[in-house]
Structure formats: structure tokens, C-alpha cells
Amino acid sequence: MPGITIGDTVPNLEVETTHGKIKLHDYFKNVWTIIFSHPADFTPVCTTELGKMAAYRPEFEKRGVKLLGFSCDYVQSHKEWIKDIEAYTPGCKVTYPIVADPNRDIIKQLNMVDPEAKDSAGNQLPSRALHIVDSDSKIKLSFLYPSTTGRNMDEVLRVLDSLQKSSKYKVSTPANWKPGDPVVISPSLSNEEAKEMFPQGIETKNLPSGKEYLRFTRV
């Protein structure tokens, strides 16, 4: 797959945005960041998505997370489009920067190109890509959606909570996990280490194999 993916370091590009020029690593420093692309300004699904991103900003801020949007349109187009976004989603303010990439150079490097979508001139368009980047500028998670499917912000929050728990504790989150649910203890911990690390209690599932690898706790 072209471009960057999970575990890769985002290149330290200098980008032009609605907030002026930004060096990506400076923007990512000491925080987690969600970077997300959209196919084009003044399009219906994108307008709903960027409005929801803005509406969820307080939830992202609680988690110490910044936002950075990407599109192949120009900065002035972004600024005009923001008026529509804010009008469609009452009460939201698009305070995060949106990157301009009219030459499609940046989206190619960040693995945000839709292989099928083209504009009227035959140029490639961004996909609905979303990367969660940690404070070391490394990609922790990637979503890649087609232009026809809008992203679910509750799912973005859910996976963000999962990633941040896993980075803080030696745990993983099981299928259909939601914040507040039990988490799975890493197999790399012995039972003795797990009991010491999670004094709040451990539930070990009895399995036909007799192996004690499915251990749950709450953090």
C-alpha cells in the first residue's frame, strides 16, 4: 500500500493551512493528533463530517488531542467553506486548521489518496482517510473510507480511548469494547506480575485448553 501506515513516522512536512504555515512535527509535539482528509470542499458528506469534528472538539480536548484536516483545495476555498460547515452544524466552530494540497503532493505521502475517485479534470482526490498520531509523530491507527461513506465520530472517540489506555497500561481492548468495559491483560505479563499491576482484581476465563490467557480487569 502506498504511503505511510501504522507504526510509521509521519514526515515532517511544512504545510499551508487556514492558520498559516505549519511544520507537522511541531504541531504533533507533546500531544496526540487526529489528521483526516476529505475529497473536496463544498461537498455534502464532507460538510457533515467537518462539522461533527468541530462539534466533538471538547471531547477530543479532554483527551489531549488536536485536529488537523486535509484537502486538495486552496486555503481561500477552505475559509469560504468553513462558513457553510458552521451554518450546517449550529453551535460548532471550526477552530482546527485545514491543510491545502492543490498539487496532491501531501495526500500521496500521507496515504490519503482514493485510487478510484477523480475530479472533473481527471486528478486524483483524497479518500476519507484518518490517522491517529501520537506525540512521537507515529501513526497508531488508520481508517480508510471511500468517498460515499462518512466517518462515525463516536467510533473515532472509542478507538482513541482504546489506544490511550493501551499506551498507559499493559492492556488491550476486546471486541465491541466501550469505555468503562473490562479490558484484556497483556499475555506478556505473568499472573504474578498482573496481580501486582492490577490490584483492583483480575477475572481469568476458564477455557477448554486450560490456558490462562484470557484475563480481564478494569482500568
Instruction: Give catalytic residues, as residue numbers.
Output: 46
What is the DSSP secondary-structure string of 97-127?
-EEE-TTSHHHHHTT-EEEEEE-TTS-EEE-
Cell numbers for 33: 493528533
Among candidates 52, 40, 30, which has minimal Cα distance to 96? 52
Query: Are 32 and 66 in contact, with CB atoms under 8 Å apart?
Result: yes
Using only C-alpha atoms, the chain has a radius of gyration, in whole angstroms, of 20
